[in-house]
A and B are shown apart, each in its own frame.
Chain A
Amino acid sequence: MSVSQPALTPSTVSRRRFLTVAGAGVTTSALLTMLDARQAPAQIKGTTLRILQWSHFIPAYDAWFDNKFVKDWGDKNGVKVRVDHIPHLELPARMAAEFAAGAGHDIIMNGSSILTRLYYKSLADVSDIYDSIGKKRGGWIPTAKPLVEVEGKQYGIPMFYILLPMLYRKDLFDANNLKAPDTWELARVAARTLKPKGHPTGIQFSQCADANLNWRSVLFSFGGAETDPSGENILIDSKETREALRFAKALFDEGMTPEVFSWDDASDNRFLASGVGCWIHDAISAYRTTEDTNPDVFKNTYIGMEPAGPGGKRVSTSAANVYMIWKFSKNQPAAKEFLVHFMEEFKDGMVQSRGYNMPYLLGDAQKPMPIIGSDPKMQILQDFPKIVAFYGYPGPFTTPVQEVVNLFVLPDMFTRVARGQSVDDVMKWGVGEYQRIFSKHKRA
């Protein structure tokens, strides 16, 4: 038996290339070792780190983040950190401006509209810390990776997501012998029963972020989907979508008033806090608003599991939030170091956000979670990580889906049906919009 020997060829590695590769290897391994040992690399000392993020819905979180969390980390590592806050709706415009200028912050946050696929060529590859954080904290929830991954590399660190569970008035349900809204059908029955008694329900039939999230929860729980898992093929034209549209029409006719056509993201908070609404499907900021403004209503407001669709499926479409590092950032080591620290101390953030920030890391999603694990009414939220989905589910948040989201195509489909257009007409319009957007991106 002969063993073929590989032909010996003269080395083509130049001295310069050897030094470059070896240098990069040593730097990466040193960074990983330091990250592993939780010791900041000395080279970040004396540098400045600039972070751009939203103004949190829980103002106390921003105060803690800016004045305590960031300051402590900066003092410990000798890094001067500046945090700028802007409204979440302005983040995409600001990102476009910083990209065009090739300058700005080192770390930039994406909220709800995750723009990884649009900007990945200009973002730093953070696969190294994505993997190391995941390994250390029990792995990421399955839907986290598609948010930040392009061509096998990760260009962002999922920071937290925001759930939109059912918030319902248990006193009204009990007084009318209604079951908790564990399914969309039970929610509809409750709305039908309580609207004539002055307690309608409401979900935004308008062009706002919550409408995009809520109607996707309904669609996905009914078994519908916008695309296949690859994100390439449109699946919106299905009997499940038609079912979901019919359901929405019935829910509107029987249980809502026309005010839902004008609602923004905060209208349902006020609707619940005013004591009028029998249930809403919203983030727990609504629960907290009620706690602060109407204690009597708050006492009777309970949080329910994501309602199941006709087939028993539950999908909770949540608002994703991701940190990214610009490739043009001159302080990438400090930025990475900060993000690792942020994820390691995630539970502090969860406490400060009063349970608003939900964890992407399975290690942090273990029961009991801070705040929500100790509050009897909020404990149910600990079961959500299993059913959480984001835009594009079951596929990634691709650029065509991003355009569909930003043009509010899906909420418009539901709105048109609620306003009286036939399901067939609306499907024709909606499918046309999806096809037009997807084909345009394919051509590009």
Chain B
Amino acid sequence: MTTASLHGGPEPSARAAVVSAPARPAERMWWQSHSAQRKTFGYTLLAPAALYVLLLVGAPFLFSLWLAVSDANVGDPVAHFVGLENFRAAWEMDTFWIAFRNSVVFLVVAAIFKGLLGTSLAFLLLQNFRGKKLIRGLVVIPFTLPIAISVLSWKWMYDSQFSVINWVLSRAGLIGSYGSESWPVWLGQPHLALAACIAVNVWRTFPFSAIVLLAGFTAIPLEVLDAAKVDGCTFFQRFRHIVTPMIFPILMIGFLFDTVFTLSDLSVVYLLTQGGPANASKILPVLAYQIGIQAGNLGRGAAIALFLVPLLLPALILVLRNIKRREW
């Protein structure tokens, strides 16, 4: 006997009808839906990456923002809010504007040369020749060498007295002898000093540009290029109308990386000239380091370093928007 019959429930015939009636589905909350569960699963998988970005990028960035609006210095555990005072102080510095200008010149000139040399090298490495693999390995050496070692080697090559570059040029009769007016002092003449620093930066990082471009070139279907050739396109026409549009997203990502690396490159200038002579080669990262760490004024150092953000942000937005647009 069932409990229902004991308590005066429906008769067996009626009970059968109840049983056969389709069960009304239980009320489900929105988060129990299939699509919500899929989303939750997706976000869970994404969470470690998001957390990583928040902790390793967001937190230091927010901390440097706080430093920039505080009077923090390296020896005092307590810092006070000073508003935009550090930015104002940097704005008033003669040296800051020299460093700002040099940073822009450094970035633009280095980007042009890296683009030209990187493209040429990438095309060279596309060709078939004996020892191609070895050469591909060798060209990335500047990029992989410890920066301190490679820059110190350059420092020796730029030495005012023993520069191997000068001695070769002198022996070739292109410049005078040591001590003469035409003997270049690479790290001692304002324009040459900045040019020398840019040259080392280009030498170090153009293999990276070449590798990025090479990756792009090899992804272009040969049939497309062959068809263009058959149609009578010249090399430059193919490069402009086929290669460049097809590798544009890769180009942009490479450009973005290169801009960030170049603008934040402290080592080359610091090790070669420390920003001299008379600030002629000083760039923002060097100035920020000298003020923030060496002189102990963390707040102002952070403010100077943050001046790079308005310089980088438009480039970043432009590049990302452009890539996004092309994806659709």
Contacts and interface: CB of A to CB of B under 8 A. Distances in A.
Given A122-B75, A258-B189, A261-B189, A92 B273 contact: no
Contact of B274 (A120, A207, A270): A207
B295 A402 contact: yes
Q: Identify the interface centre among A93, A100, A205, A259: most chain B CB within 10 Å of its CB.
A: A259
A353 interface: no
Contacts of A207: 273-277, 279
B230 interface: no
A262 B75 contact: no
Nearest to B187: A262
A98 B185 CA distance: 39
B294 A436 contact: no
Contacts of A118: 73-75, 296
A121 interface: yes
Interface in A391-444: 399, 402-403, 406-408, 412, 415-416, 419, 429, 432-433, 436, 440, 444
Interface in B122-163: 155, 158-162
Interface in B79-102: 89, 92-95
A383 to B, nearest CB: 32
Contacts of A93: 293-294
A264 B193 CA distance: 13
Nearest to A444: B71
B278 interface: yes
How many residues of A sit at the interface, in one of the four size bands?
Answer: 35 or more
A289 interface: no
Contacts of B89: 436, 440
How many residues of B sit at the interface, in one of the four size bands?
Answer: 35 or more
Nearest to B158: A262
Interface in B270-319: 273-279, 290-291, 293-297, 300
B291 A403 contact: yes
A198 B178 CA distance: 10
B188 interface: yes
A83 B203 CA distance: 37
A406 B290 contact: yes
Given A261-B188, A407-B290, A271 B277 contact: no
B179 interface: yes
B185 A259 contact: yes
Contacts of B277: 205-207, 261-262, 415, 419
Interface of B: 71, 73-77, 89, 92-95, 155, 158-162, 179, 185-189, 193, 273-279, 290-291, 293-297, 300
Given A118-B73, A120-B75, A436-B89, 7 more contacts: A92-B74, A122-B75, A122-B77, A259-B188, A403-B296, A416-B278, A433-B94
